[in-house]
Chain A
Amino acid sequence: GAGVSQTPSNKVTEKGKYVELRCDPISGHTALYWYRQSLGQGPEFLIYFQGTGAADDSGLPNDRFFAVRPEGSVSTLKIQRTERGDSAVYLCASSLIGGPPFNEQFFGPGTRLTVL
Chain B
Amino acid sequence: KNEVEQSPQNLTAQEGEFITINCSYSVGISALHWLQQHPGGGIVSLFMLSSGKKKHGRLIATINIQEKHSSLHITASHPRDSAVYICAVGETSGSRLTFGEGTQLTVNP
A63 to B63, CA, bound (A): 38
Question: DSSP majority for the B interface?
Answer: strand
A35 to B40, CA, bound (A): 16
- CB closest chain-B residue, reference A89: B41
Q: Which residues of B contact A91 (CB under 8 A)?
A: 41, 43
Q: Is the CB of A100 within 8 A of B95?
A: yes
The A84-101 residues at the B interface (CB cut-off 8 A) are 89, 91, 93, 98-101
The B87-101 residues at the A interface (CB cut-off 8 A) are 88, 90, 92, 94-101
Q: Specify which of A48, A104, A110 is in contact with B41 (CB 8 Å cutoff).
A: A110
Most buried by A among B42, B97, B99: B97
Contact surface of B with A, Cβ cutoff 8 Å = 4, 30-31, 33, 35, 40-45, 48, 50, 86, 88, 90, 92, 94-102
